[in-house]
């Protein structure tokens, strides 16, 4: 409904501009002197002149407004799906509890009836010997008590376990975390867990995470997944581990894990992450292969490449960039080095501003007559870079020929990027698939393992590092 309302306003805006341009044509063809026009007609002429003088900016603003609205609309759809899945899980949990309670009541009634029947039978059998009767009754009572305890334990084991999923709720890497949240909730449901979401209010916002984790009522849950597990919150996690809470970490480097948990007195938490450095290497490989095959330059080692980091101080960004740069230098013999823009801060507007400022300030200084490729450390920044390269805005500020054939590679494989890859004319030639569903599957498996089999807490795998894959544009797949 909201989307329809937007398009109504958008078409109304375009129609208004068309009407004003038509009025301008009428005034011009009629030969009427604008200086002699008064009142409302004069105001219309002023407005028409303003539109003529600023028509390109009006088009840019309109396109940006439309793009932003469409992205927000898609993001709302993901949020709505997440909320619906959460409500469905809550309803399933309530239904299961009702069924378990009903089953327990029926079972308890059956035990009482069987007990009374057995007592009645024994009284008939041992009419004349009360001592034997009392002994038999005690045996039956003992057996009935054991059956009751076994049944209660069985009920407890079949009840969905309450666990907490700590995820960030912010605009930083928002699409990735929304998808991870949905996948993780589904996997936890399959493992018979009832998931309680807890927002960390910020991707790697250490003060926010510390506050959330320290103030959370841990007695209400039987385990937790913390994603992402930034270094700043690890002391709080150690405190909970020492109290015996099963915890699984997501998005943490092996080096950070060893630093904090290798000598932990309690059982160290299992963790899941993606091989970020290898993902960066894959990005360099696919970009070089595309440029060699489709651009066919005279010198296949002389390419002008830019990369947009998420945050230069962030360990995932550092790993992705390090893998990309080292692989690129290996393939080109170190003749050319990719050039860094300012931080994109993992978000679209950060990428837009970072790339725009770089292109305006550095192309002449570098002596580049073209930009061959851009590697963005996540898909949100990659999509923003594409929108900027295709906009009239940047073409007025630099020589359009320098970015005419620029290609882009992203990272994560969020739905927006996967959709973009289906457009054979898109600059996005590939994204590195971080296997979000596999990450969610493994964190749910590790948590289930720790809760259901605490006796095996130090057995089996301690971690899972997911190997990313290349997801290519349909055109590239066809030509490859």
Query: Are 270 and 446 a contacting pair, CB within 8 Å?
Result: yes
Reported as a single tens digit per residue, the pLDDT across 306-333 is: 999 988 778 888 999 999 999 999 998 8
Confidence of residue 413 (pLDDT cuts 50, 70, 90): very high
Residue 134 lies in a domain: no
Q: Say if residue 313 is in the same domain as residue 365.
A: yes
State CA 73 to chain mean position distance. Answer: 17
Reported as a single tens digit per residue, the pLDDT across 135-149 is: 777 777 777 777 767
Q: Say if residue 395 is in the same domain as residue 448.
A: no
Query: Are 269 and 241 a contacting pair, CB within 8 Å?
Result: yes
Q: Say if residue 309 is in the same domain as residue 420.
A: yes
- We report the CATH number of the domain holding residue 407 as 3.40.50.2300
- 3-state per-residue secondary structure call for the chain: CHHHHHHHHHHHHHHHHHHHHHHHHHHHHHCCCHHHCCHHHHHHHHHHHHHHHCHHHHHHHHHHHHHHHHHHHHHHHHHHHHHHHHHHHHHHHHHHHHHHHHHHHHHHHHHHHHHHHHHHHHHHHCCCCHHHHHHHHHHHHHHHHHHHHHHHHHHHHHCCEEEEEEECCCCCCHHHHHHHHHHHHHHHHHCCEEEEEEECCCCCCHHHHHHHHHHCCHHHCCCEEECCCCHHHHHHHHHHHHCCCCEEEECCCHHHHHHHHCCCCCCCCEEEEECHHHHHHHHHHHHHHHHHHHHCCCCCCCCCEEEECCCCCCHHHHHHHHHHHHHHHHHHCCCCCCEECCCCCCCHHHHHHHHHHHHHHHHHHHCCCCCCEEEECCHHHHHHHHHHHCCHHHHHHCCHHHHCCCEEEEEECCHHHHHHHCCCCCCEEEEEECCHHHHHHHHHHHHHHHHHCHHHCCCCCCEEEECCEEEECHHHHHHC
Q: Say if residue 259 is in the same domain as residue 342.
A: no
Picking from 192, 116, 103, the residue whose alpha carbon sits closest to that of residue 152 is 103
Please state, in angstroms and as integers, the Cα–Cα distance from residue 323 to each residue in 42, 99, 278, following that order.
Answer: 62, 53, 6
Q: Say if residue 302 is in the same domain as residue 341.
A: yes
- Hey, which of 14-28, 127-141, 213-227, 397-411 has the most confident mean pLDDT? 397-411
Q: Say if residue 422 is in the same domain as residue 284.
A: yes
Q: What is the mean pLDDT of residues 214-238?
A: 79
Is pLDDT of 373 > 70?
yes
Look at residue 26 in the predicted model and tell me its pLDDT: 47
SS3 of residue 411 by DSSP: strand
CA angle 216, 222, 225 (to 5 degrees): 65
Confidence of residue 389 (pLDDT cuts 50, 70, 90): very high
Average pLDDT, the chain: 77
Tell me the residue ranges of DSSP E strands in 369-474. Answer: 373-376, 407-412, 428-433, 463-466, 469-472
Q: Say if residue 193 is in the same domain as residue 325.
A: no
Q: Say if residue 261 is in the same domain as residue 285.
A: no
Name the β-bridge partners of 271: 249, 463
Confidence of residue 3 (pLDDT cuts 50, 70, 90): very low
Residue 72 lies in a domain: no
Picking from 226, 225, 181, the residue whose alpha carbon sits closest to that of residue 84 is 181
Reported as a single tens digit per residue, the pLDDT across 19-46 is: 555 555 544 444 445 554 455 555 666 6
Is pLDDT of 366 > 80?
yes
Confidence of residue 234 (pLDDT cuts 50, 70, 90): confident
**Residue 308 domain boundaries:** 277-436+470-479
Query: Are 191 and 448 a contacting pair, CB within 8 Å?
Result: yes
CA angle 1, 420, 432 (to 5 degrees): 130
Q: Report the alpha-carbon distance of residue 202 to residue 445 in Å, rounded.
A: 26
Reported as a single tens digit per residue, the pLDDT across 64-93 is: 666 667 766 766 776 676 667 667 766 776
Of the candidate ranges 73-87, 170-184, 393-407, the one whose mean pLDDT is the lowest:
73-87
Q: Say if residue 318 is in the same domain as residue 213.
A: no
Confidence of residue 437 (pLDDT cuts 50, 70, 90): very high
Q: How many CA atoms lie within 13 A of 307 on its CB side?
A: 28
Query: Are 69 and 6 a contacting pair, CB within 8 Å?
Result: yes
Q: What is the mean pLDDT of residues 421-445?
A: 92
Biggest CA-to-CA distance, the chain: 129
Residue 64 lies in a domain: no
Residue 383 lies in a domain: yes
- Hey, which of 119-123, 350-354, 454-458, 463-467 has the most confident mean pLDDT? 463-467
Q: Report the alpha-carbon distance of residue 226 to residue 212 in Å, rounded.
A: 11
Number of domains in the chain: 2
Q: Say if residue 229 is in the same domain as residue 332.
A: no
Residues 6+ apart with CB under 8 A from 214: 236
Residue 417 lies in a domain: yes
Q: Say if residue 361 is in the same domain as residue 393.
A: yes
Q: Say if residue 302 is in the same domain as residue 245.
A: no
SS3 of residue 168 by DSSP: coil
């Amino acid at each position: 409904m909201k989307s329809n309302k937007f398009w109504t306003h958008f078409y109304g805006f375009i129609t208004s501009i068309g009407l004003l341009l038509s009025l301008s044509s009428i005034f011009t063809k009629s030969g009427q002197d604008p200086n002699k026009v008064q009142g409302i007609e004069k105001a219309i002429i002023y407005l028409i002149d303003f539109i003529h003088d600023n028509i390109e900016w009006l088009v840019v603003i309109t396109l940006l407004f439309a793009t932003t609205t469409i992205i927000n609309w898609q993001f709302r759809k993901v949020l709505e799906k997440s909320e619906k899945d959460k409500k469905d899980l809550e309803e399933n949990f309530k239904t299961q509890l009702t069924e378990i309670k009903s089953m327990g009541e029926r079972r308890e009634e059956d035990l009482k009836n069987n007990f009374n029947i057995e007592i009645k039978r024994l009284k008939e059998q041992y009419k004349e010997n009360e001592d034997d009767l009392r002994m038999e009754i005690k045996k039956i009572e003992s057996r009935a008590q054991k059956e009751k305890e076994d049944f209660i334990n069985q009920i407890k084991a079949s009840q969905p376990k309450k666990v907490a999923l700590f995820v960030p709720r912010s605009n930083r890497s928002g699409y990735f975390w929304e998808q991870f949240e949905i996948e993780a909730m589904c996997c936890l449901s399959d493992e018979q867990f009832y998931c309680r979401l807890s927002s960390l209010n910020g991707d790697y916002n250490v003060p926010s995470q510390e506050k959330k984790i320290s103030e959370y009522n841990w007695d209400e849950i039987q385990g937790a997944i913390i994603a992402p597990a930034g270094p700043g919150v690890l002391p709080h996690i150690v405190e909970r581990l020492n109290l015996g809470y099963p915890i699984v970490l997501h998005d943490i480097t092996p080096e950070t894990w060893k630093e904090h948990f290798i000598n932990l007195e309690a059982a160290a938490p299992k963790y899941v992450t993606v091989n970020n450095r290898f993902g960066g290497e894959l990005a360099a490989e696919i970009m070089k292969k595309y440029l060699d095959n489709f651009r066919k330059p005279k010198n296949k080692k002389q390419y002008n490449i830019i990369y947009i980091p998420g945050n230069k101080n962030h360990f995932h960004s550092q790993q992705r960039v390090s893998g990309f740069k080292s692989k690129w230098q290996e393939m080109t013999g170190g003749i050319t080095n990719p050039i860094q823009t300012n931080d994109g801060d993992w978000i679209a507007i950060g990428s837009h501003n970072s790339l725009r400022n770089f292109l305006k300030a550095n192309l002449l200084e570098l002596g580049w007559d073209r930009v061959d490729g851009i590697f963005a450390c996540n898909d949100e920044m990659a999509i923003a870079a594409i929108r900027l390269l295709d906009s009239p805005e940047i073409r007025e500020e630099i020589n359009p020929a320098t970015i005419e054939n620029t290609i882009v590679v992203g990272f994560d494989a969020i739905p927006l990027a996967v959709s973009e890859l289906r457009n054979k004319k898109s600059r996005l030639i590939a994204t590195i698939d971080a296997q979000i569903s596999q990450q969610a599957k493994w964190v749910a498996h590790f948590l289930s393992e720790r809760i259901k089999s605490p006796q095996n807490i130090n057995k089996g795998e301690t971690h899972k590092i997911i190997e990313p894959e290349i997801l290519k544009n349909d055109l590239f797949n066809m030509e490859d």
